Homo-oligomer: A and B are copies of this chain.
Amino acid sequence: MKTEKEFHDFLENGDKYYIPNLTIDCAIFGYHGKELKILLAKWRGLDGWGLPGGFIKKKETLSNAATRILKEKTSLDKLYLKQFHVFGDSEFRRKEKEGLSFSPGNNRYLLPKNSWLHERTISIGYYALVEYSQVNLMTDYFIEELVWQDINQVPKLLFDHNEMLSYALRNMRINLYHIPIGYNLLPNKFTLPEIQSLYETILDKKLDRRNFSKKLLKLELIKDTKEVKKIGQHRSPKLYQFDMKKYNEALKNGIVLAI
């Protein structure tokens, strides 16, 4: 959605290209500075923050749609994406909208009463894990601004997006014990303290160093690179990286991580 022409075409004829009534919203998690971050989008004209989202093209698979929407916002195509829930029950999702308006540039654009965008939407929630440092945030005609927000400082969001986020987070935390994470959240090479800190941040609890390393290494998902990381006036921790063969097997077959 780069030009004003595209934008107006979308408002007027979007229902020819996209499936109406159905959207995808993404809870995009990143990790930085020992904080778990969520990507929030400020919608033009709506004067509020929400999760990034979009419509599904008429002939597109759901996974492609979710990947596309994410790529539009973050420029990433290497990420972990998972469908976690469909939202169609809340007050907001049961009724049609009215008087929606958008403000591309500085022009306020009020949607006509019978616009396809006023119809009720049911939203498929996906969550994504992405590598913070690789993300290149990109706004467009709908999204005025994108920011990474600490998961503990999320404001009141538009629509039912707070509920979505809370579902996403709960789901992600449960999945943590059954699928490997980290490949999409950490730099290529990382230390044990770093990955431990990632788990601690996501789970919001302290873990025992010795037990954590034993358990993680037993899974054999990461391997010693024989390099170390200089961290100044302290002992240099070893650098590890994921064994992609085993990591992908683990993604497929699941793991049991008892931390």
Contact = CB atoms under 8 A, between A and B. Distances in A.
Interface of A: 19-22, 56, 58-63, 83, 85-86, 88-89, 93-95, 120, 122, 124
A25 to B, nearest CB: 13
A59 B93 CA distance: 9
B122 A62 contact: yes
A59 B22 CA distance: 14
B94 A61 contact: yes
Q: Which 10 A-B pairs have the closest CB atoms?
A: A62-B88, A61-B89, A19-B21, A86-B124, A62-B89, A63-B89, A86-B86, A22-B22, A61-B94, A83-B86
Nearest to A88: B62
Copies in the complex: 2
Which applies to chain A's interface (DSSP): helix, strand, loop or mixed?
A: mixed
Nearest to A95: B59
Contacts of A58: 120
A95 B59 CA distance: 6
Contacts of A85: 83
B22 A56 contact: no
B94 A22 contact: no
A59 B94 contact: yes
Contacts of A19: 21, 120, 122
Nearest to A178: B174
Most chain B beta carbons < 10 A, residue from A58, A86, A95, A124: A86
A259 to B, nearest CB: 15
9 contacts: A19-B21, A19-B120, A21-B22, A22-B122, A56-B88, A60-B94, A62-B88, A86-B86, A86-B124
A124 to B, nearest CB: 5
Given A19-B21, A61-B88, A83-B85, 6 more contacts: A21-B21, A56-B88, A56-B122, A61-B94, A62-B86, A86-B86
A21 B89 CA distance: 18
Contacts of A60: 94
A19 B93 CA distance: 13
Contacts of A20: 20-21
A144 B95 CA distance: 34
Most chain B beta carbons < 10 A, residue from A59, A61, A83: A61
A56 B19 CA distance: 15
A93 B62 CA distance: 10
A94 to B, nearest CB: 6
A114 to B, nearest CB: 14
